[in-house]
Chain A
Amino acid sequence: MSAIVNGAGKVVDFVDERITASNWLKRNIRKVFPDHWSFLLGEIALFSFILILLSGVFLTLWFKPSMAHIVYDGAYTPLRGTGMSEAYASTLELSFEVRGGLLMRQVHHWGALVFLAAMSAHMLRVFFTGAFRKPREMNWLVGVTLLFLGVATGFTGYSLPDDLLSGTGLRIIEGGMLAIPVVGTYLSWLLFGGEYPGDDIVSRLYPLHILLFPGLIILLVTVHLMLLWYQKHTHWGGSGKTNKNVVGAPFWPVYVFKAGGFQFIVFGVIILMAATIQINPVWFWGPYDPAVVSAGTQPDWYVGFLDGALRVMPPWEPEIFGYPLTLSVLIPAIILPGLILTPLALYPWIEQYATGDRREHHVLDRPRNQPVRTGIGVAFITFYLQLWIAGGNDFFATVLDIPVNWITRFIQFGLIVLTPLSFWVTKRICIGLQRRDRDTLLHGRETGVIMVSPSGEFSELHEPLDPHSAYDLAFRERQLPIDPGPATDANGVPNPSYKANRRRARLSRFYFGDVVQKPTAEELEAAQHHELERGDRQQELTSGQQ
């Protein structure tokens, strides 16, 4: 045995004699991990989070979470003599008086943007491939919670430096809280320690940002990975890859080296971004002043959709019992996030109810093979993107040289029309692709060679599929809508659950009513027979011409 193994053996020996570790190791060290580029999205999220933790700890060594008033006399001369909070001054110190401090600030901020983008993309991957289905619903919930915590951590961090942009963000949060019926005024008063902005908020957000939220994220990431480990990763199906096995590379060494290497790649890319692309130059914005705002600045990307929702909302404010209900703020700031997160969290159960499918699924769906789910996902993306564009409507108005109001009106219209339209179009596209798959399976691959038959008909020469490709197209499941059963049994006694069954059958028809089924064995045989005949005729034709 090599020296490495001997060395590791000593450690294993020590641990094993105390907690029977070899037993677990034996079963897990060669655990199989399937490979696909889309499985890297979650890894990007994990690794950028680790980098955020490391850079964040560095920042805490200088950052002062205090809103105590000081007059600046630090190294950045343009602001000398200006009154500001200690938090803002210490962010300037980090940027201008600590070598590598600006780098770590930029690593931390870019890391946050990448973290949230990777988490979102990972979630979309899981959604569109159906990886949330049984037995992975719990991990889906953990993931949704992580996304929420990520946004909360990002927003609290954005508020810490107490520069003009953090303050403006907090002002909008205060406005959102004030819109909450009955308790809003008091909630805001408690959060800010009295009137807005007070001098408490930074020191109150600080423990949330560096302890509570990241702590919860670490906890949930651990649960996420333990569940993943225990349930084994899903894989793309195909020849030899079934619902009952998992095919891929062993954890040790290939996966460890690939994932470990990938961690350094993610680190490297984020550090290079921090080295070359400036982000949040707080000295530019100046310290927070509630009477000043800089036009044209954008919030971090992951809150842009909320800002957009605030922009496109009509000015509704009905009175109830003499109290104002500020729907124009309440809906975008409070109700909308709930309206997005709740169905998102419940989606695995919604689909399970609609399809009646309670089996374990370990093979991923190609998005086209779930036209309705894919349509729902694309409709959600369309909805979200429109809000996001609304969040930058002033920017787009400048670029397109049209009035801002036009964009707002267009998006108000689009949210209602384009969202369902994108569902419908996506569904049709999926069904079209399914039909093409079915044709390919039945008639072979198109070769682009056009033949003329003796009777003068044009047709394209098709080449039969190799068995692996054919199987890859043909292994998916047949999806049939639920049959509600008869309303009465054989003796004419009404079935008490018929109504519920029918409701469910209708939902399942919504999901599966229009899908294109894969061909049956008989259809396949008939088609192949037909192709053969046609091929023979064409053969004759070509040889006849020569």
Chain B
Amino acid sequence: MSAKSEDMNGHSSSEIVASDRESTPASTSHEADPIADPGLHHPPPRLTDVDPKAERRAERQVAGMFSLASILLVLSIVAYIVFEIAPDDPDDGVSVGDVQISNFTLGITLGLATLLIGLGAVQWARALMKSPELVHERHELRSDDNIREAALADFETGTEETGFGRRKMIRNSLLGSLALLPLPAVVLLRDLGPANGPSPVDAKETTIWSEGVRVVTDVTFQPIRAADLELGQLVNAMPETFEDLPDHGPERINARAKVPVMVIRMAPEELHVAEGRENWHVDGIVAYSKICTHVGCPISLYERTTHHMLCPCHQSTFDLADAGKVIFGPATRSLPQLPLAVDGEGYLIAQSDFHEPVGPTYWER
């Protein structure tokens, strides 16, 4: 870099125009300006340049800002010590108010201090530093033709010396091995996915719902008695077997991302029962996957009168009275329905797993 700029230091500015030579039909023309350049327009002197009083005032201002910054920095340490956030008794837990006071006092002191340091420095430069308006010439960035040719010639000499062009066997075998080099690097990433267990496609097609699994309320895990559900009521539910999954490891949270359902009771005559699903509801009680078929958000906004279920993420709307069909928004597939039945004690159970994969569309489905 340094060698090159030295070279260019000798150029006169008139050579700038020379770059035109490589342009194709120029569309913008360099025709003489209709008005001659009157030259630089110098701003009038600053008040601080002509009035010693103003200069002293500016000086006091700048020093004042820097000194205030020092005071604020000390205050920030005081704030750190004074505004404790740890509770006196660990059992009590933290008070969010204390945290906010600590946050505010620390932030205000540190923020104002840095701001003042910055304002002081800028004010110093603006009002007090001699600020000559400098004019530097620009030089064409393209190197001289001779140098370009010489550089190319050097490169050619070097290339000749390798014999790269002549020794085709060496060249091709080298290129071959280099081409293979990325492969192991990619293969090594294979074990990012688990080494055993179901294939990604199989995993998508099954959940822990299966025949006879009780439908339990989410959070409290109580079985749901069909007769207790009121008309229009919606319950978020899980399979009873979810509780048995271990806390540690991914199994539990992965199931949590697949199995949640919504159980809704409607008047049986409101329900448009799809063909083949005649016995999937229990007296108008239906269950659908809670995982949106668009990109997988849990669906949550139910409108009782219309039986419309809205996904808060991108507003896909599903009709729960009509096989979970999409009636608005970007989702392309109906919500998977879970076939329901009741067990001997009158509690809701699943007849089987879902009959289709839960969640967003994927290539193999």
Given contacts A199-B250, A240-B41, A274-B107, is CB(A524)–CB(B35) below 8 Å? yes
- For B, the interface residue count at a CB cutoff of 8 angstroms equals 126
Q: Does B179 contact A (CB under 8 A)?
A: no
**How far apart are A520's CB and chain B's nearest CB, in angstroms?**
6
Q: What chain A residues lie within 8 Å of B10 (beta carbons)?
A: none
Contact B27 A261 (CB under 8 A): no
* Chain A: minimal CB distance from B240 (Å): 15
Contact status A239-B25, CB under 8 Å: no
Chain B residues in 8 Å Cβ range of A421 = none
* CB-based contact B119/A315 at 8 Å: no
Nearest A residue (CB) for B203: A195
Instruction: Among A183, A245, A261, A520, point to the contact of B137 (Cβ < 8 A).
Output: A245
Q: In whole angstroms, how far apart are the Cα atoms of A266 and B111 in the complex?
A: 10
Whether B86 and A97, one on each chain, are in contact in the complex, defined by CB atoms closer than 8 angstroms, is yes
Point out the residue from A194, A263, A357 that lies within 8 Å of B27, measured CB to CB: A357
Nearest CB of chain A from residue B130's CB, rounded to whole Å: 9
Q: Knowing A295-B312, A329-B294, A478-B31 touch, does A356 contact B138 (C-beta < 8 A)?
A: no
For the complex, what is the distance from the CA of A490 to the CA of B294, rounded to whole Å?
Answer: 64
CB neighbours (8 Å) of A238 from chain B are: 41
Shortest beta-carbon distance from B95 to chain A in Å: 9
Q: Within 8 Å of chain A (Cβ to Cβ): is B290?
A: yes
Q: How far is the CA of A360 from the CA of B204 in the complex (A)?
A: 57
* Residues 177-192 (chain A) with a chain B CB within 8 angstroms: 178-186, 188-191
Least Cβ–Cβ distance between B67 and chain A, in angstroms: 15
Option from B38, B250, B329 in Cβ contact (under 8 Å) with A195: B250
Contact B312 A324 (CB under 8 A): no
Tell me whether A76 and B297 are in contact (CB under 8 A): no
Q: How far is the CA of A45 from the CA of B176 in the complex (A)?
A: 44
Residues in B neighbouring A261, C-beta threshold 8 A: 117-125
Given contacts A174-B296, A323-B363, contact A360 B141 (CB under 8 A): yes
* A267-B361 in contact given A83-B247, A358-B22 (Cβ < 8 Å): no
- Best-buried of B115, B123, B248 by chain A (most CB within 10 Å): B115
Question: How many Å from the CB of B358 to the closest CB on chain A?
Answer: 11
A145 to chain B, nearest CB (A): 21
Q: How many A-B residue pairs have CB under 8 A?
A: 405
Shortest beta-carbon distance from A466 to chain B in Å:
9
Q: Counting CB contacts under 8 A, is B13 at the interface?
A: yes
B296 interface neighbour in A24, A107, A172, Cβ under 8 Å: A172
B148 within 8 Å of A (CB atoms)? no
Contact A474 B33 (CB under 8 A): yes
Which residues of chain B from 1 to 47 have any CB-CB distance to chain A below 8 Å in the complex?
1-2, 5-6, 9, 13, 16, 19-20, 22-41
Q: Are A194 and B194 in contact (CB under 8 A)?
A: yes
From A239, A241, A275, A312, B107 is in contact (CB under 8 Å) with: A275
User: Does B250 lie within 8 Å of A313, measured CB to CB?
Assistant: no
Q: Is the CB of B118 within 8 A of A184?
A: no
Of B27, B90, B330, which is within 8 A of A480 by CB? B27
Asked whether, in the complex, the Cβ of B94 is within 8 Å of the Cβ of A96, the reply is yes
A-B CB contact pairs (8 Å), 7 listed: A97-B94, A99-B102, A257-B122, A267-B115, A475-B33, A512-B27, A521-B34
Q: A261-B120, A315-B326 are in contact. List 9 more A-B contacts (CB 8 A).
A: A185-B200, A185-B204, A190-B190, A264-B121, A268-B112, A269-B111, A272-B111, A316-B332, A471-B37
Question: Hey, which bits of chain B sit against chain A, CB under 8 A?
Answer: 1-2, 5-6, 9, 13, 16, 19-20, 22-41, 80, 83-87, 90, 92-94, 96, 99, 102-104, 106-108, 110-126, 129, 131-138, 140-141, 189-190, 192-194, 197, 200-201, 203-204, 218, 236, 238, 247-250, 253-254, 256-258, 260, 290-291, 294-298, 300-301, 312-316, 326, 328-333, 359-365
